[in-house]
Structure 1
Amino acid sequence: MKKLLYWVLTVAPIAYMWLIWELSSIPGDPNAPFTFEAVFKDSLHLIEFGILYWMFAFALAVHGKWTAGTSLAIVIVCLSYGAIDEIHQMFTPFRTSTWFDLFKDAVGITVSYIIMRYTYFKSKDSRMYRFFQRLETLDRRN
């Protein structure tokens, strides 16, 4: 069971990036720019890239590579992928690519980074710290 969880967490960020790409490839609906569905999808930028940050955090933790430096590097990776996704949407019919969407991606990533910074890196007594220590025990060599 540990091996399975180890590999799932290892592959999860790449699989999630693929899912984001696939969802961004779906053409938009030109007749419904201000529907509830459109507004809901637009608000997901905050959440989807925050989730990407956490998936990378879990993957790095199971490999024993989670540090303050890798946390900051993952912020840059996630933000870069957000930019790539926005460029990709420029070429998808009836999809928009805006700086505001990239800003929303950045907010989701930054909130996740701040939560990690203050719950993991600042306190070795936190639940987050204990959780990540348990993730490190999933190393496939065990």
Structure 2
Amino acid sequence: MKIIKWVLRVLPFAYMAAIWIMSSLPADHFVKLPDSQIDHFIKESLHLIEFAILYVLLVLAMLTRRHAFTPALNIACAVFAALYGISDEIHQSFYSYRSSSLFDLVKDFTGILVCFYFIRGALFKGKFTRLRKVLGRV
């Protein structure tokens, strides 16, 4: 069980490194679909989940600690994920083959806020009992 806890604690950092590396590469470095409109749509849609995943990984890492996971710590995880999203957009702006936009940030923040809503509801508002049970096992 200790190994799982340490993996959950390291995972957000590994994920942030992966985001940073992928932001330094052309958008079609790993995958390019034959239809450019579908390719663009899918890659733009990933903004909705990319930083939401980071927020969830941060929450899971914090839940492995012995200290209580508080509403303030939950907000801190969401803010950290959002700030990392901002830094990623700034990072991308230095590469001519990448784009950086305010609309991308809105998508990043939307994904974080959706996950924040469910995690906050499960852990602090008595909603989403299944999610609360899953998070309680961490």
Aligned to 1:118: 121
Number of residue pairs the alignment of both structures matches? 131
Report the Cα distance in structure 2 between the residues aligned to 1:28 and 1:54, rounded to whole angstroms.
Answer: 24
Unaligned runs of 5+ in 1: 136-142
- 1:22 maps to what in 2? 21
Alignment match of 2:57 (pick from 55, 58, 62): 55
Q: Distance in 1 between matches of 2:122 and 2:89?
A: 31
Instruction: Provide the C-alpha distance between the structure 2 equivalents of 1:82 and 1:73, rounded to a whole number of angstroms.
Output: 14
Report if the CA contact (8 A) 2:121-2:128 is conserved: no
Higher relative contact order (CA 8 A, sep 6+): 1
Whether the 8 Å CA contact 1:119–1:129 is kept in 2: the answer is yes
Question: Does the C-alpha gap of structure 1 residues 125 and 21 become closer, same or farther in structure 2, counting only changes over 3 Å?
Answer: closer
In the TM superposition, residue 74 of structure 1 has moved relative to its aligned partner by 1.0
Query: RMSD in angstroms over aligned alpha carbons?
Result: 1.9
Instruction: State the secondary structure of the residue aligned to 2:46.
Output: helix
Extract structure 1 runs of 4+ deviating beyond 6 A.
Answer: none
Q: TM-score, normalised by structure 2?
A: 0.87
2:7 corresponding residue in structure 1: 8
Aligned with 1:92 (options 91, 95, 99): 95
Equivalent position amino acid for 2:64 in 1: V
Match of 2:74 in 1: 71
Shift of 1:64: 3.2
- List gaps (5 residues or longer) in structure 2: 29-33
Please, what TM-score do these two structures have when normalized by structure 1? 0.84
